Amino acid sequence: MALNKVEICGVNTSKLPILKAEEKEELFRRIKEGDMEARELYIKGNLRLVLSVIKRFQNSNENADDLFQIGCIGLMKAIDNFDTTLNVKFSTYAVPMIIGEIRRYLRDNNSIRVSRSLRDIAYKAIYAKESYMRTHDKEPTIAEIAEEIGIEKEMIVYALDAIQNPVSLFEPVYTEGGDTLYVMDQISDKKNREERWIEDLSLREAMQRLGDRERHIIELRFYEGKTQMEVADEIGISQAQVSRLEKSALKAMKNYLRP
């Protein structure tokens, strides 16, 4: 998918407007009063948000124009459903809506076809989850979703899994202070406890040259197979700090072992 072109769906992305905070507030006030012109201006003022979201899907084979149009549908839904009294930034609310709309489009157009009945179950579960979160301000369990829609838990899990798109281990989760955290940083690897290179004697010697905290992080990550989030909770620092210290420690060990 080419995202380096200037014009998408007839929109010159190099000249997209940027709304100021006071402009957003005023436009939303007018939108709530039924002003369609204000709604149109608010949509145009947030097209950069759509553009930034579809960049996450640049590895897909979908046309950028199509994804941009679908993203705009998600944006419009977000505008129509946004509650200004929740004290939440519009972008915080809108981004998941745009992503969700694009993912639904990709699922429905996936070359790997999922049965209609499974998709229906998955969509019912997703809608039930969204409704529950709006009402209870927390994410429901599978059991609670199952009770709400009257479908067995196992079938819900199976259906939700069937409509998921594969995710790269190197897909960024978020960036904090210049340090990018990837999906692979969130995954436990139990095999490390018995089979991995960390138990080699030379690596143990390299570990002894690390500081106490760095060595402890390496032990938790590669001996015990814990995720960076689990390590962060255990030693009382942020996940970004764990990522930074882990990378630094591995680099130091690599330099020590280099012939």
| Secondary structure of 8-37 in HEC code, one letter for each residue | ECCEEHHHCCCCCHHHHHHHHHHHHCCCHH
- 72 in the Ramachandran plot: left (φ > 0), alpha (ψ -120 to 50) or beta? alpha
Enter the pTM of the model: 0.43
Q: Which H or E element spans position 71?
A: helix 64-81
CA distances to 55, 59, 69, 73, 166 from 3, rounded to whole Å, are 7, 10, 14, 19, 21
Closest by alpha carbon to 95, among 139, 53, 136?
53
Residue 130 phi/psi, 5° resolution? -60, -40
Q: Read off the pLDDT of residues 36-69 as tens digits, 9 standing for 90 and up.
A: 898 899 988 888 888 888 888 877 677 778 888 8
Cα gap 45→94, rounded to integer Å: 13
Asked whether the predicted pLDDT for residue 190 surpasses 50, the reply is no
CA distances to 78, 119, 125, 163, 164 from 104, rounded to whole Å, are 15, 10, 13, 9, 9
The letter for the amino acid at 184 is: M
* pLDDT at residue number 194: 40
**CA triplet 25, 135, 108: central angle to 5 degrees?**
85
Q: Read off the pLDDT of residues 63-118 as tens digits, 9 standing for 90 and up.
A: 778 888 888 888 998 888 888 777 778 888 888 888 888 888 877 665 455 566 77
* pLDDT at residue number 123: 81
